[in-house]
Amino acid sequence: MPSQTLLKIESVLTYRAIVSRSLGFDMKLITRFELAALSENELRGLLRKAFNALVQSQANSPDRRNALASLENIQAELVERAPSP
């Protein structure tokens, strides 16, 4: 993955505070609107980070709900971009 792509992913992550340095963990919902501006590689990197956030979250917490909804949004965006048969 090119370094420019990594920088863009990190800027999205920082902007949305997916992982807050001050609290150690604070998952914010990632919307389809925000995802539309990212490339497929960026989406896949973000999918990995959102999955890791889901795994680290506590059961029935707002962070877990946001991580799961974000994962669903990322997956829906990837499916929408997939070439149709």
Q: How far apart are CA 7 and CA 48, in angstroms?
A: 15
Is residue 34 scored above 90 in pLDDT?
no
> 19 in helix, strand or coil?
coil
Is the Cα dihedral 68, 23, 8, 28 positive or negative?
A: positive
Tens digit of each residue's pLDDT (9 = 90 or more) over 50-75: 898 889 889 999 989 998 999 999 99
Q: In this predicted structure, what is the pLDDT of residue 25? A: 53
Verdict on whether the full-model pTM lies above 0.75: no
What is the domain partition of the chain in residue ranges?
A: 3-81
Q: How confident is the model at residue 37 (pLDDT cuts 50, 70, 90)?
A: confident
